[in-house]
Structure 1
């Protein structure tokens, strides 16, 4: 009798077994995700450093060189694999699109949260969701048929270049930055607004000096996320930037980005060759920049949490 009671007391119930099963399943899923991430990092890194370990290209000439022709060689006999034009193009379109998109995103978010929440939810929210769901190739095609001719007519040149890529990326990252900015503004406690108004501040003073300043960490996080998407965008930028592996002399001259060179060259190289290895090196730069953006986001989030 006593042994049966002890057995029933020590035996796991169905709920306890189910909880153990759920924890085990969650651990397996997390371990699988971690394994996939580590595998991707290792694979891209091992392929990317082959340019320097197997082909003898120096890191300085790769990151600082301005001539890009992996099939040819310079006067010194070294391969022409200078990635500086693509790195410069990627950073230019990323920062310019973020600079242009941020004021529009903040203005739309303030309107939707502080001025007219009902109209914002009924009209602007569906528009933002629609912009998020549009494929990048559609953005690129619109940029090719609308933005490029407009830039050509207003600024001259061919119309292809950093400026056209900036306009296309501006529209692409605007929904992301706007949505995250709205979330940041909504997290500001309501009693902040009430206290400001009770002290005699106007609505605009409350928005500018209380709400926006309290939401700065969230807004910065939104901008960094938008920049991360802009930096990694490939197809839309490729269609409007001109894809010339040259240092951009101005905003309306054909240029290139890391992603545009990758998409053009990925199917035209042989695995293990220098032409293929340098593409993996460009992919490694993209991966490193993605990690940098993620680290920046976490640092901004920690500072916001400390406040």
Structure 2
């Protein structure tokens, strides 16, 4: 399958979709800001979706803290926030359809068993016809290459059969996998443009396959460079990344703009978040985003 480009849709719908496994950090702010500006700069809608599909990993109070932090940093979204936990019936219905069509199957492989076979899933359960109880659900993938043109990273190609293998769409503990949920929710919410971190770049071909399989529209994609700490670790909720503080909103917004290749003037130093965001919307240029998968945090200070 050859790489394709998409024209700008008449109506832009973007979204920010945090996971409540912790508080927002600077890397989260960069992603939220880019998705917000990319939407608002063309008069589009910007949605907030809480990806709360993994209760064991959810931090108590994180959802409320995320919402409050976004508000204090000047962000305003369109409509009510969607929680993925409210969409369970929709996910289950699609999984049932895929099972009935023979496109998905039960997998009883343990993590320990698969550790001995690194790389693409070896297909142990593909034709085993296991009972669905206490089993994960995997989606059969074709021996095909999927490709797309990312607005920042350029052309991305991945052969699903050779590089990924059949992948999980429902875990053994019955929790829905990210790949399926994000595709169904983006389509259900009418999302036309996905702006997110480059850590999800390699997931996109799987999502393209799901979109094709389910007859869903393909959004445009823009994958942002990840912010890397001096020790080489990605900024994240699970690795000592300090949460965003309300009193740091203005300097961190300016720092995030610089991380995105934008050029805020010194006159904005100390300005309140609404003024910074208003300037940023008016002057947003996605073409200035660095074409790299990582940016060193130390360089942004």
**TM-score for both structures, normalised by structure 1:** 0.22
More strand by share: 2
Higher helix share: 1
Larger Rg: 1
TM superposition score normalised by structure 2: 0.22
